[in-house]
A and B are shown apart, each in its own frame.
Chain A
Amino acid sequence: QKEVEQNSGPLSVPEGAIASLNCTYSDRGSQSFFWYRQYSGKSPELIMFIYSNGDKEDGRFTAQLNKASQYVSLLIRDSQPSDSATYLCAVGDTGGFKTIFGAGTRLFVKA
């Protein structure tokens, strides 16, 4: 059973701080990695995707990938209360067509 593991949280950070969200995956051959944000009662929306080792930055968000360690992370700089949501890590499955999601990390940004 291929897995994607995330700390369920909640992760609580003060406004303006850096939030660090982590994810590990079991499928060593995975090539595609995604971070989705999900507000309560809403559907997931894409935040970042990354395919290569290293860092990828987009505004206040940075995705980091280390395939050797099977580890992917998301950094949110200058966290805002509107960033409070559940963040889902998702990994492309090499054995088929599915994307495997973690259970998500709940983030609270305190004003």
Chain B
Amino acid sequence: GAGVSQSPRYKVAKRGQDVALRCDPISGHVSLFWYQQALGQGPEFLTYFQNEAQLDKSGLPSDRFFAERPEGSVSTLKIQRTQQEDSAVYLCASTPGLINQPQHFGDGTRLSIL
């Protein structure tokens, strides 16, 4: 596609439910990043994929958060047993090569936990 695509754009879930957020990066982009952005803050790194390999997951807040990119293209961020503090915008970004390149961001998924 022309840009990074994320779905859904908005997600409302009840506390304790599981959610799955999808990211479709720019075709051919090797690197994929997930970020969490709270209101009034900058994006916080969650995890990084190089093709299908998850090389850095140091930013995942807890073991309730899980990400995968099984075929090196589309990625899914899953949050189990959601909590209110998980409410945020989740951004996905991709780059054509390896790290330290400018990132192309998707429009994000705004997650609200009730």
Contacts and interface: CB of A to CB of B under 8 A. Distances in A.
Interface of A: 4, 31-32, 34, 36, 42-46, 49, 88, 90, 92, 96-104
Nearest to A4: B42
A34 B42 CA distance: 13
Contacts of B33: 98-99
Interface of B: 33, 35, 40-45, 48, 50, 55-56, 58-59, 91, 99-108
A72 to B, nearest CB: 14
B91 A44 contact: yes
B102 A49 contact: yes
A75 B102 CA distance: 19
Contact of B100 (A31, A46, A101): A31
Contacts of B101: 32
Given A42-B107, A46-B103, A100 B45 contact: yes
Nearest to B42: A101
Given A44-B105, A97-B48, 4 more contacts: A43-B106, A90-B42, A98-B48, A101-B43
Contacts of B100: 31-32, 92, 99
A104 B48 contact: no
B42 A104 contact: yes
Contacts, number: 57
8 A-B pairs closest in CB distance: A101-B42, A32-B100, A98-B45, A43-B105, A92-B100, A97-B48, A97-B56, A46-B102
A96 B108 CA distance: 24
Given A102-B42, A103-B42, A45 B56 contact: no
B103 A43 contact: no
Given A97-B55, A98-B58, A103 B105 contact: no
29 contacts: A31-B100, A32-B100, A32-B101, A34-B103, A36-B105, A43-B105, A43-B106, A43-B108, A44-B105, A45-B105, A49-B102, A88-B42, A88-B43, A92-B99, A96-B48, A96-B56, A97-B48, A97-B55, A98-B33, A98-B45, A98-B56, A98-B59, A99-B99, A99-B100, A100-B45, A101-B44, A102-B42, A104-B41, A104-B42
